[in-house]
């Protein structure tokens, strides 16, 4: 007799369990029907911090982030985010798949279509990319001129001249599109048209080198040596590119990449470092290094330790950088500073001399200045030599930034400190010429040629000056 209620209870319980299971199965099947799982590439090649974050995002796409995702977790925003992360990490096919899905679910959002177009472009699926960009335009994307520009560039990828031209014309006044039209005119040997377009751009954007470069080419093609020389000089004097819509997308991809895993820790540590929260910065940097060693992170860690006066530890980190990733002049300079801070003067000087052998470019000015100070008391001649090199490096840097007046001061200091430094006279001539000081420029070039008769650039620059 006691078996009957037990059996009945077991039957009711079993039936209930079965019904629950069937309901859950129906729900899961339904969910599976309405949304496939996100694509998951082989993530083994990633460092563990990034891998974990990416896996969490994959889970958000798979299971949703809100309670109503229980019924349908078509979370287009999560898929778009995953697509962007894949894209920033180089998983382009998976990125395209996620962004395609996000665009499909988000039938009205123009940005989703735009991003999908960008992902297709990365895969070289150009006609599909153009279609996605056109879809973004249909959905009312606010960056209409930029999108026409992208469409034009994609037609160029397919070598479709007329279609590209039409798209660039549709981009209206966008400087980058107008430059492309000038290039297309030049390719079609419509010299006058190309020249007119480029000259307008050159006037409107006096700091931009693109139009000057094109005008130089036009002169080379037409064998006009005088114009070629003039525009080559203008090309050199203009420091910046024309603004391009691609700058926006580049920033977006880099920002996304730098927000993930080790690189995210590195970015956050940088903020903490600048806020003076050195202990917390150090913690994040050590986490990042544990995930995957990189010289950039190690360098910041050495800085953080040095600021905390933990000099021996900072030196050890720098030495590890040298062992693992080889020398750079910046690293050798820093090692010299670390040795000097520890009172090891001979070691400091050895690293600095090695750095000087390796160093090139304007950024080395600080290294030369340090050396100038180092030798100030003991070897004044040598100190002046480094002072001249520091001033020359600074002057060149300023000149290439389009700051001729600032460059002039540095370059005058360079030739004062070392009157035998021929390159300093050449760049002094360049600065003076750009400031309209023709006679003084001539003097400087001539002095350069006296010191170094074979200095070809000084001879060419002299020829650009009007007759005295």
Partner 1 sequence: MADVAASNGGQTLPSSGRRGWRVLLVWTVAVLLPGAGAVAWPYLGPAEVEVCSSPVSHFPAAEWPYDKQILGAAPRFRPRITHVRLVDLDQDGRMDILACDAQRKRLYWYRQTDRRQWQEIPVGPELNVPAGLAVVDLDGDGDRDIVAAVLGSVLPSDERIGQVVWLENRGGTFVPHVLLDHVRRVADVQAGDFTGEGRPDLAVAVYGYHHGELLWLENLGGGRFREHLLLATQGPSHVPVADFTGEGRLDIAALVSQDHEEVWLWENRGSGEFAPRRIFHTLNFDLGSASLRAADLDEDGRPDLLLCAGDNLEINHHYPQPWHGCYWLRNGGRGGEFTVQRLAAVGGVYGAAVADLTGDGRPDVVLACMFNDWHRAGAASLVLLENRGGEFLPRTLDTHPIHLAVLDAGDLDGDGQADLVAGSLHLDDLAPERWGRLTLWLRRPR
Residue with smaller CB distance to partner 1, 171 or 311: 171
240 phi, psi to nearest 5 deg: -115, 155
Contact between 76 and 112 (Cβ < 8 Å): yes
What is the closest distance, in whole angstroms, from the C-beta atom of residue 242 to partner 1 in the complex?
11
Residue with smaller CB distance to partner 1, 252 or 440: 252
Residue with smaller CB distance to partner 1, 138 or 225: 225
Residue with smaller CB distance to partner 1, 49 or 284: 49
What is the closest distance, in whole angstroms, from the C-beta atom of residue 241 to partner 1 in the complex?
6
Q: Which of 326, 329, 337, 268 is nearest to 303 (CA)?
A: 337
What is the closest distance, in whole angstroms, from the C-beta atom of residue 155 to partner 1 in the complex?
9
Residue with smaller CB distance to partner 1, 63 or 246: 246
Residue with smaller CB distance to partner 1, 228 or 314: 228
Residue with smaller CB distance to partner 1, 207 or 379: 207
What is the closest distance, in whole angstroms, from the C-beta atom of residue 188 to partner 1 in the complex?
11
What is the closest distance, in whole angstroms, from the C-beta atom of residue 173 to partner 1 in the complex?
21
What is the closest distance, in whole angstroms, from the C-beta atom of residue 326 to partner 1 in the complex?
4
What is the closest distance, in whole angstroms, from the C-beta atom of residue 391 to partner 1 in the complex?
14
Residue with smaller CB distance to partner 1, 270 or 423: 423
Rounded CA separation 132/415 (Å) = 58
Rounded CA separation 256/304 (Å) = 25
Rounded CA separation 149/135 (Å) = 15
Which whole-number Å values give the CA distances from 165 to 144, 146, 177, 180, 260, in the listed order?
Answer: 16, 14, 9, 8, 39
What is the closest distance, in whole angstroms, from the C-beta atom of residue 465 to partner 1 in the complex?
17
Residue with smaller CB distance to partner 1, 57 or 101: 101
Determine how many CB atoms are found less than 10 A away from the CB of residue 430: 27
Contact between 424 and 395 (Cβ < 8 Å): yes
Residue with smaller CB distance to partner 1, 363 or 405: 363
What is the closest distance, in whole angstroms, from the C-beta atom of residue 275 to partner 1 in the complex?
27
Residue with smaller CB distance to partner 1, 18 or 275: 18
Using CB atoms within 10 Å of the CB of residue 119, give its burial: 0 to 12 exposed, 13 to 18 middle, 19+ buried. buried
What is the closest distance, in whole angstroms, from the C-beta atom of residue 123 to partner 1 in the complex?
6
What is the closest distance, in whole angstroms, from the C-beta atom of residue 274 to partner 1 in the complex?
23
């Amino acid at each position: 007799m006691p078996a009957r209620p037990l059996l009945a209870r077991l039957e009711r319980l079993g039936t209930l369990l079965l019904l629950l299971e069937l309901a859950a199965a129906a729900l899961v099947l339904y969910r599976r029907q309405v949304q496939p799982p996100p694509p998951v590439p082989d993530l083994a090649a990633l460092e563990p911090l990034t891998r974990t974050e990416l896996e969490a995002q994959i889970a958000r796409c798979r299971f949703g982030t809100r309670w109503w995702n229980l019924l349908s977790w078509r979370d287009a925003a999560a898929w778009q985010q995953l697509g962007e992360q894949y894209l920033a990490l180089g998983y382009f096919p998976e990125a395209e798949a996620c962004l395609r899905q996000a665009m499909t679910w988000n039938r009205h959002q123009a940005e989703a279509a735009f991003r999908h177009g960008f992902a297709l472009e990365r895969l070289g699926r150009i006609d599909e990319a153009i279609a996605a960009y056109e879809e973004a335009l249909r959905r009312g994307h606010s960056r209409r001129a930029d999108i026409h520009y992208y469409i034009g560039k994609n037609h160029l990828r397919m070598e479709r001249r007329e279609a590209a031209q039409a798209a660039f014309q549709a981009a209206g006044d966008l400087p980058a599109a107008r430059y492309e039209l000038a290039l297309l005119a030049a390719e079609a040997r419509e010299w006058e048209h190309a020249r007119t377009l480029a000259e307008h751009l050159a006037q409107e954007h006096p700091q931009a080198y693109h139009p000057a470069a094109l005008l130089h080419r036009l002169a080379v093609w037409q064998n006009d040596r005088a114009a070629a020389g003039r525009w080559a000089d203008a090309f050199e004097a203009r420091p910046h590119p024309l603004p391009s819509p691609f700058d926006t997308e580049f920033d977006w991809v880099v920002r996304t990449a730098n927000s993930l895993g080790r690189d995210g820790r590195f970015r956050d540590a940088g903020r903490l470092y600048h806020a003076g929260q050195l202990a917390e910065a150090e913690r994040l940097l050590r986490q990042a290094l544990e995930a995957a060693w990189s010289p950039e992170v190690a360098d910041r860690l050495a800085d953080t330790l040095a600021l905390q006066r933990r000099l021996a530890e900072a030196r050890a980190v720098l030495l590890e950088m040298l062992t693992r990733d080889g020398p750079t002049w910046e690293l050798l300079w820093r090692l010299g500073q670390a040795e000097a801070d520890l009172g090891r003067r001979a070691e400091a000087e050895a690293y600095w001399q090695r750095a000087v052998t390796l160093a090139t470019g304007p950024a080395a000015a600080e290294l030369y200045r340090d050396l100038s100070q180092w030798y100030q008391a003991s070897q004044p001649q040598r100190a002046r030599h480094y002072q001249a090199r520091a001033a020359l490096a600074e002057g060149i840097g300023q000149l290439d930034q389009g700051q001729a007046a600032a460059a002039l001061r540095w370059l005058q200091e360079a030739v004062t400190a070392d009157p035998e430094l021929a390159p300093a006279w050449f760049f002094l001539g360049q600065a003076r010429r750009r400031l309209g000081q023709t006679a003084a420029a001539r003097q400087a070039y001539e002095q350069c040629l006296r010191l170094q008769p074979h200095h070809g650039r000084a001879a060419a620059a002299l020829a650009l000056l009007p007759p005295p």
